[in-house]
Amino acid sequence: MSAEATNPEAHPEVRSELRRRGRTRLDLRRLGRAALLGPTSRDRLPDAIGHVAEAHRAHHPDADLSLLRRAYLLAETSHRGQMRKSGEPYITHPLAVTLILAELGAETTTLTASLLHDTVEDTDVTLDQVREEFGDEVCFIVDGVTKVEKIDYGAAAEPETFRKMLVATGNDVRVMSIKLADRLHNMRTLGVMRPEKQARIAKVTRDVLIPLAERLGVQALKTELEDLVFAILHPEEYETTRALIAAHAGERDPLPAIAESVRTVLRDAGIAAEVQVRPRHFVSVHRISRTRGELRGSDFGRILVLVAENADCYGVLGELHTCFTPVVSEFKDFIAAPKFNLYQSLHTAVATPQGHVAEVIVRTWQMHRVAEAGVVALGNPYATGTAPEAADCDEERVDPTRPGWLSRLLDWQQSAPDPDTFWSVLRAELAQDREITVFRADGGTLGLPAGASCIDAAYAQHGAAAHGCIGARVNGRLTSLSSALADGDTVQLLLAQDATSGPAVEWLDHARTPAARIAISSWLQSHPDRALATTTAARAPLSVIGARGGGGNAVAELPDATVRLAGCCTPVPPDAVAGFLVRGGAVTVHRVQCAAVAQMRAVGRTSVAVHWRATADCRVTLLAESFGRPHLLADLTEAIAREGVEVVSATVEPPVEQRVRHSYTLQLPDATGLPALMRAMRDVPGVYDVRRA
C-alpha cells in the first residue's frame, strides 16, 4: 500500500480538506466595510477578498490570483455607493457569492466571473468592457448570469431570464453554478424583504433552482437552499423539526461511539480512512420523521467514511458487513452505477450489538468533492478545448460535462411557444428526478426521464420525423408506442414510409418528455382535420374465411377422439406437442412451450399422448405486421399463393397508428416450407414482421 494510502494526511485531498476546515467563519459586514475602504496596496490582493484567495488556494495552490485582483477592483469601484436592502454595501454580495464558490473549489475563471456577475446589470460596466479586460470566457459567463431587461419583457422577464441562463449553461455549466451561489446568498439575507416576496422567491427556488442544483450535483448548495426554503414556506413544520433537533442535542448521541468503532475496525484491517459523523440537515430530518415516525438517536446523522482509492471503498464495505450486522435492504452501489448527476458512493446501514442502526456512506476523497460540489468540482471543462465563443455567438460549444437532461432541456425550450408554457413545462421537467438510459438499435444511447415511453424515445431520436412512428421493438419484441421503457432496454423505432403520417391525439396520454408533448401538440394544432380523424371509431376487422380445419395431421392416442390444434400456439410438425382432454371429449394439441400447457396441468386436465402423422402437410397461423398501404392484402395473398400454400382464413384489423395487423391460418403441403413462406411474406413491401401466433 502506498504512503498516501497508509497516511491520510499525505493525500492531497485530505490536506486540502484540513486547510479548508481550519478557517474561521467570515463577518460579511466587516468585509463590506473593508471593501468601501478600497485596496491598501497595489502589489497584493485587497484585504476584503483575502478570505476568497485563501479558500481558492486551498483547492488550487498554484492559482494565479491577478485576475481576481483586477476583477475585485472593477467590481468594488463600479458598485461603490450602492447598498443592499439589508443596509450592507453592495460589494458584500459578489464577495459572498465568490466565497461560496471558492469554498466549493471553483477555478479562477469562475471566481472572476462571479465577482463581476452583477456589474453589467447594475452598473455602467458593459459586456464589451468585460470582454476587453478579462476575455471572451469571463464575458460569456457574466452575460449568461445577467438578467434580461424587465422593460423589454415585462411579466415574462423571469421565465426569459431562466431560458437565457439555461441556454448559456448548455454552453458553459459554470453559468448555473454562479446563479446557484447567487441565489443561496440572497436566500440567506431574505429576511429584510416582505413576506409575500420571500414566499415568491422561495417557490421559484424550490421549483427550479433546487432541482437544478440536484441535477448538477451541487449538494452543498442544494441542502442549504432546501432548509432556507423549508423555513419560509413551511414555518410550523420547520419549527417542529428544529425542536426535534434541539431536543436531540441534549441527549446522548450514539453515532460518535459507532464512528469510533468503525475507526477501530478499519485500523485493525489496515485501511487508512477518515471517519466523520455528518448531521442531517433540517429537510432530511423532516423526511425521516415522516417516514419512520418517532426518531432514534442514530436517525439524526450518518457516518461518512473517506478513503483514498476506489478499491478501498469495497474493502471498507466488506469490513463493515463482517464486523457489524448489515441491513441488506439499505445497500446501494452508486460507484458501479453512478447517479445521473455524477454522484458516486456506497450506501449501507449496519446494526450494532447495542441495537443502534447507523447509515454509512463510503466514498473516496475525489468522490466526496464531486458529491459536495458537483460540476463545480470538475474545474474548467474547456481548458483543453477551443476558446469560448463571444456572448452573442449562436454556435454551440461542445461541453464534456453536459448531462442528458440538460440536452433535453435545450432541445425543447426552443419549441416552447411562449414564456408561460416554458415556465410551467420547465418546472414539470425538473420535478422528474430519476433518469433511465435506453440503447438504440444503431448502438447509440438515449437519456430519458423515468417512466418515458416509446413515444418519448421516438422524438428524442428522430425529432419531427417521429410524427410518422408507427411502432417499436423493445428488446427484440414488437410493442406499442405507449409502452413504458425501463433502464437498459434496447429500442428500435419503426417509421412509416408515408411522409404525411402524423401522431394520434392519444399519444399525449403517453408522452412524458416536454419535447414530445410540445411537438405532438404543435402538429395536432396545425392539422385539426387529421387530429379529428384519429378520434373516429375503429372499423370492424375484415375477415376472409375458408374451409374450417380440425386437427391437421396430429393424432391422439385416444380412440374416436376429435383432435384440434390450439389456436394460441398453432403447432406444426416437427414441434414437440402435448394433448389435453377438454369438454365434449375433444383433444386440444399445444406446443409444449405454450403457456396454456402449465394452466391445463394446474387445473387437472387429463393429459393425452399425441404424435404427428407421417404425412408432411400441416396447418399453421401466422401474424403479419405491416405499414398501411393500398393493395397490401392482395400482395400478401399473392406471395402466399406463390409458395403453394392454401389460405384457410384471414383477418385484417383496421389500421392503428398507421400500422396494420394480419392473421392468416394456412394449410401447408409440407411443414419444411414454413421458413421459406415466412421469408416470402416479410419480403412484401411494407411488411416488417411475420411470426407464428
Active site residues: 121-122
**Strand duo 346-351 + 332-333: pairing:** antiparallel
d(CA 463, CA 516): 8
Radius of gyration of the chain (CA): 34
E strands, 514-570, in order: 542-545, 554-556, 563-565
Alpha carbon dihedral 238, 242, 248, 250, in 10-degree steps, equals -160
CB 481 within 8 A of CB 472: yes
As a residue count, the chain comes to 693
Beta carbons within 8 Å of 129's beta carbon, 6+ residues apart: none
In single-letter form, the type of residue at position 274 comes to E
Find the angle CA(277)-CA(282)-CA(287) to the nearest 5 degrees: 100
d(CA 516, CA 412): 8
Please name which of 201, 149, 147, 140 lies closest in space to residue 174, comparing C-alpha atoms. 140
d(CA 263, CA 374): 28
Burial of residue 637 (CB within 10 Å: 0-12, 13-18, 19+) is middle
**Strand duo 477-479 + 357-364: pairing:** unpaired
Please name which of 238, 217, 227 lies closest in space to residue 187, comparing C-alpha atoms. 227
Beta carbons within 8 Å of 117's beta carbon, 6+ residues apart: 94, 97, 141, 142, 145, 146, 178, 182
Please name which of 677, 577, 543 lies closest in space to residue 622, comparing C-alpha atoms. 677
H/E segment holding residue 257? helix 255-268
Please name which of 372, 360, 352, 353 lies closest in space to residue 304, comparing C-alpha atoms. 360
CB 582 within 8 A of CB 632: no
d(CA 42, CA 66): 11
CB 513 within 8 A of CB 448: yes
